[in-house]
Amino acid sequence: MPTNEKIKLLIADDHAILRQGLRRILEAESDMSVVGEAATGTDAVRKARQLKPDVVIMDISMPEQDGIESMRQIVKSISSRVVILSVHLEQHVISEAVSAGAAGYLAKDSLDHELVSALRTIVHGGTVFSSQVSKLLADYAKGGGAGPSRAIESLTAREREVFFLLAEGKSPTEVANALFVSPKTIHTHRQHIMEKLGLGTTTELIRFALRQGLIKNV
């Protein structure tokens, strides 16, 4: 997105007080604008399609339709990214959210600056999980055998560098800058990594890395 444009945000939560609090926090940032609020899952989908925000901040426990299904519908129909902000820290819930396309997952007790920082990372193509969420995902299905380890070993040294930078939530452009190569080169490496590991998206790559305990936090 152009650097002179504000990050457009949609807040989807069934608690009005929380929505109002988030709005005050986010609109205090000079580069952020809350373009809408939604109190139900179906309203979140409707408003996301109407307003086309850069990022939707989504709760999981929502009336009419849960946040994960709402997020699934949003990411399939428009380019908005979705970050989950929830009290739910169960492994299966987090894993389902990541599978459905979450660009981030933060606990509701996260600090204000953590959320603000996460939104800036996500809008530029990164992915952010709070430390406790990362630990739960890493523990989930841990000990899945030697297959994943052998798959990682099949990567070249440069592909492993790219893999870990992508798994930390960096965008291809950020990876290219970090490794002093062109974005086109990174996209080629990424394609090879995906083929070798049997993955389809960067979200799947991050989930793979977290589940296997290859990264501690992103």
Task: Parse the chain into domains and list their residue ranges.
Answer: 7-139, 147-211
Predicted confidence at residue 8, as pLDDT, reads 96
- State whether residue 56 is helix, strand or coil: strand
Predicted confidence at residue 146, as pLDDT, reads 38
CATH of region 7-139: 3.40.50.2300
Low-confidence ranges of the chain (pLDDT < 70): 1-4, 137-151, 215-218
Predicted confidence at residue 199, as pLDDT, reads 83
Predicted confidence at residue 143, as pLDDT, reads 44
Kind plus residue range of the DSSP H or E element containing 66: none
Predicted confidence at residue 34, as pLDDT, reads 96
Predicted confidence at residue 211, as pLDDT, reads 74
Predicted confidence at residue 57, as pLDDT, reads 97
What is the CATH topology of the domain spanning 147-211? Arc Repressor Mutant, subunit A (1.10.10)
Provide the H-helix boundaries in the chain.
16-27, 41-51, 67-77, 91-99, 112-123, 131-139, 147-153, 157-167, 172-179, 183-197, 202-211
